[in-house]
A = this chain, B = another copy of it.
Amino acid sequence: MNEVKEKGKLAKEVSYTLANVSTEEKNDALLKISEQLLKDKKLLIAENQRDIIHGKAKGYLENILDRMLLNEKRIEDMAAAIKQLVELQDPIGQTIEMIEKENGLKIEKKKVPLGVIGMIYEARPNVTVDAATLALKTSNCVILRGSSSAIHSNKALVQTIHRALEKTSIPVNAVQLIEDTSRETAKELFHLNEYLDVLIPRGGKALIQTVVNESTVPVLETGAGNCHLYIDKTAKKEMAIQIALNAKIQRPSVCNAIETILIHDDWFKQYGIELLEALTLQGVEIYGDERVVQTYSEVVLATDEDWYAEYLALKVSVKIVSSTEEAIKHIHQYGTKHSEAIITEDNKQAQIFLNTVDAAAVYHNASTRFTDGFEFGYGAEIGISTQKLHARGPMGLEALTSSKYFIYGSGQVRQ
């Protein structure tokens, strides 16, 4: 049997026992992992350096190398995040619904673990610890499949987790890493329906698309964000400019940053130049439609690719529209159903926009940057779901649970 199947089988077996582990046992294990990370700091940094050196030799870009990097501060942050996770309420075992039937049957719907979670992700080694600890908190087993570029870091982190779990009642195989990072192992995970209950991809658009297209295991799609800001006719100038700048510039590399600004014709005539100047002043490159190009010299003409682009950089596309409906139509054609905002003083337009736009989060007069599990107060975030089944928007611990009906009788049969 190969590595993927073998680890899948093991995970499935362990998952049945994890369903019976108490909140205290899980929290104890999490605290031990947190401590062990701090104890193993030097070792982890040394192993991470092997990946960094290898990455430099391969000519990786500076931002990729930065994502890969583990240093003292980052390890301490991981350890601290686990302590926060311990404080969160354990959803497992909670009663969702209680039905008592006339025949005496008691039907209790409770939250239960998903079972075995497969995680396919790219460079960031912190996903290893994140995924493992969120899974443990919710009594799930996890099979991790990171990228080859971070393999030494990931191996070291999983060894640290195992060293911690050895001191607890939780089997070490609750957390397993696929060490063979060839394409074949990813493909095997796509079809490991026998052992995996869900597959979660974390990374760029290409990775997520591959998983969604190829996997027969149910996928929790986390999100690419081609987010839009629509500035309506009646939008206040200052508010619109402030939100546009915040949503584009405050952290351009994240999925809830905006990529396109749609502007109502009337507003554009009055304040368009001011907005474009403010963006340019902050170093934002602008790709605009013909009207925008004609109005402001530093704008490059946008192509269809620009409207589809998730730049994740100091770039923005700008388009003039003549109504809320036209803005919505554009969003539905090019958007990724993540976060979409309207700035307007007209409540009717706001209502139309919020009700009609099909996205996980819709905003009236606020920055799209708030779409985030921590900002929403969930205390943890598995990712931001852009699909409509199971979970939508920022996913907290709940997203890693399923439900199960427990039915208690005394001999009842159906009439």
Which A residues fall within an 8 A CB radius of B? Answer: 15-17, 19-20, 99, 101, 105, 107, 109, 114-115, 193, 197-198, 212-213, 216, 218-220, 236, 238-239, 242-243, 245-247, 250, 328, 332, 354-356, 358-367, 369-371, 375-377, 387-390, 392-393, 402-414
Contact = CB atoms under 8 A, between A and B. Distances in A.
Given A213-B216, A376-B99, A114 B242 contact: no
Given A115-B358, A239-B411, A363-B407, A389 B198 contact: yes
15 contacts: A16-B332, A19-B356, A99-B376, A101-B377, A105-B366, A197-B388, A218-B219, A236-B411, A242-B413, A245-B413, A361-B405, A366-B407, A367-B409, A370-B412, A371-B405
A114 B390 CA distance: 11
A411 B412 CA distance: 59
A413 B249 CA distance: 11
Contacts of A220: 389
Contacts of A109: 393
B414 A363 contact: no
A362 to B, nearest CB: 6
A110 to B, nearest CB: 10
| Number of identical protomers | 2
B413 A367 contact: yes
Contacts of A402: 388-389, 392
A250 B404 contact: no
A354 B16 CA distance: 11
Given A198-B389, A409-B365, A360 B107 contact: no
A55 to B, nearest CB: 31
A388 B216 contact: no
B355 A20 contact: yes
Contact of A354 (B245, B246, B355, B406): B406
B218 A414 contact: no
A413 B246 contact: yes
A243 B411 contact: yes
Contacts of A362: 404-407
A362 B404 CA distance: 8
Contacts of A328: 16
A236 to B, nearest CB: 8
A303 B332 CA distance: 54
Given A360-B405, A392-B403, A413 B115 contact: no
Contacts of A403: 392-393
